[in-house]
Amino acid sequence: MKRLVKEREIFHYLLKDLLRHEEVLKMKEYIQHGDLSTYDHAVNVAWTSFRFSRRLGLKVDERSLLRGALLHDFYLYDWHVPDESRKRFHGFYHPKTALRNARAHFSVNKIEEDIILKHMWPLTPMLPRYRESYVVLLADKYCSVKDTLGFENRERHTE
């Protein structure tokens, strides 16, 4: 239990600037899967990525892992609503929008860029380059299945 509390402290410390940022908080306005907001989904993916990497003993840049995970769906629109300006399939193209938004509001490094751009592999054709990108890719798939199937242990975040 102490380890979990310590991990939560580290998680929040590494993401404190993003979790309170006005633009990131806008993700709460959009539904991702089922009735879960994009913000909640992104925080769950970040937490799951953090836990996966720690449990597997992976040597990762935790700050980049968490920032990339939190910003992986930073596209700021309702993908369920058809829009003439977005005629393409959301799953293929939202990583580029998320990266454009991340770059507009934050300084993102190469690992974070790779995480954001390639988290939808294999829909996005380029393989991830970094270990952190693979962790987030897998955590995103895991969380998305949980969200879509409506598992009860989904977390909603109020930070």
Report the sign of the C-alpha dihedral through residues 27, 150, 57, 2, in that order.
positive
Q: Is 90 exceeded by the pLDDT of residue 109? A: yes
The widest CA-to-CA distance across the chain, in whole angstroms, is 50
CATH, domain range 2-149: 1.10.3210
Which residues lie closer than 8 Å to 96 by C-beta, 6 or more apart?
117
Query: CA angle, 10 as apex, 9 and 15 as ends, to 5°?
Result: 100
Verify cis geometry, omega within 30 degrees of 0, for the bond prior to 122: yes
Mean pLDDT (whole number) for 122-131: 90
* pLDDT beyond 70 at 156: no
pLDDT over 90, % of the chain: 64
Structure-block tokens of residue 102: 């991340």
Give domain limits for the chain.
2-149
The Cα 5–Cα 127 span in angstroms is 34
More confident residue, 78 or 38: 38
Determine the pLDDT at residue 125: 82
Tally of residues, the chain: 159
pLDDT of 141? 94
Q: Which amino acid is at 62?
A: E
- Name the least confident of 45-49, 109-113, 145-149: 145-149
pLDDT of residue 149: 81
79-83, 133-137, 139-143: segment of lowest average pLDDT:
79-83
Give the tens place of pLDDT for each residue, 74-103.
986 665 556 565 556 655 578 999 999 999
Phi/psi of residue 12, each to 5°?
A: -70, -35
Confidence of residue 27 (pLDDT cuts 50, 70, 90): very high
Whole-prediction pTM value? 0.87
* Spatial contact of 155 and 39, defined as CB atoms under 8 Å apart: no
Helix axes 110-118, 62-71, angle to 10 degrees: 40
Indicate the angle between helix axes 110-118 and 90-105, nearest 10 degrees. Answer: 160
The reported pLDDT for the residue numbered 89 is 63
> Cβ(105)–Cβ(21) under 8 Å?
yes
